[in-house]
Structure 1
Amino acid sequence: MNEAYKNLVERRSVRKYNNKKVSHDLVEKIIYAGQCAPSGMNRQIFAFVAVEDEELVKELSKKNAEVMNSSADPFYGAKSLIIVFADTHAPTYLYDGALAMGNLMNAANALGVDSCWIHRAKEVFETEYGKELKIKWGIPESYEGIGHCILGYRDEELKKRAERTSKVVYA
C-alpha cells in the first residue's frame, strides 16, 4: 500500500499519553506540515503556537477544562501541543484552520507521534487569560483559536477502529 495513503487511513486519535516528550525537532517538522496545508486562495492565514513547556500545557489544559465545566484533563496527559489560529478576516478561515489541524495530525502520525484534536481553542482564547497569551505571543486580535493539537506517545494499545459509517454516494 502507498505510504501516504496508509498514513491517512491508519491515523488515530489518542486519548492516553505516557510521559515521553516529543522532541523539538519533530514538533518543528509537524508544524511545517501544518504550514503546507491548503488554504483559500493560498492566503496562508494560519498562526501556530508550539507549547513545549509542561507547566503551560497543564495550565492550558486546566483552562480548557474550565470552558467545558470539567475537572478532567482534556489534554489526556500530553506533554506538548500545537495551537492553531486563523485570521477571521479571511472568509475561509475556519476551513483553512481545520485543514491545518488535519495536516498536523497526519504529519505527526507519519513521524511516529500520536495526536488528537482538542476543541475549545476559540473559547479559551476569548477569555482574558487567553487574550493575554495571544498578546504575549504576537497573535493578532483577529485570529481565532481553531484547535489544540496535542502531541505525545500513546500509553495503551489502540482499540479496534470503529466501522466507518459515513454516507457515500456514487452518482
Structure 2
Amino acid sequence: MKKPDEEMLIDLYWKRNEGAIIETQRKYGAYVRKIINNILKLNSDVEECVNDTYLSVWNDIPTTIPLVFSSYIAKISRNTAINRYNSQRALKRGKGEVDYVLDELSELISGKEDVESTFDYNELVRHINEFLSFQPVEKRKLFVLRYFYTESIKDISERTNFTESKIKSSLFRIRNELRDFLISKGVEL
C-alpha cells in the first residue's frame, strides 16, 4: 500500500504537474544522488544522471504506477547510472566501484560473456530473489548494499559497523551460496 505522500507525488506526475519533479528532488534527491554517486563517482556525471533519472520518471509515470516509489526511483537511478557507466567504460575511462562489483560477481558466471546470453535474465532475477528470501536479514542487507547499490566495502562497513574483513568474507560466502543455489536451479555458470 502506498503512503499518502507517495500517492500525492504520483498524482502530480499523472497530472503532468511540474511540481512533481520539485517534490521528488526534495524528498528523494539525496537518495537518488547517493545511488548514482556509488556507481559514477564523477560529480558532473552524477548531476547529469540525476537529471536523467527525473526525466525518466516524468516520462514513465503516466504509463507505470509504481507500487513503492522509493524502490521505483532507486531502480531508475541505478539503471540510468549503469547505462552512463557502460558508456564511459566503452570510452576507456577510469576504474570505479562497479568494476570491483562486476569482478566479484564474475565468480558466479565464470567463462561466460554475460548472464543474459546464457540464461533468461528475468528467470535469473527470480532465482536471486528466491535465494535472498531464504537469507537472514544481515546477509540480504550486505548483498543488496554491495550488488544493487554498488556501495564500497568501506561505506558498508561504516553503515553496518562490521569490519571490512567481515564484510568481504561474508560477501564471499554469500556469493558461493548463491552460486550453489543457482546450480541447483539448473543455471549454467
Quickly name the TM-score band, shorter chain normalised.
under 0.3
TM-score normalised by the chain length of structure 1: 0.26
Which protein is richer in strand relative to its size? 1
Structure showing greater Rg: 2
Which protein is richer in helix relative to its size? 2
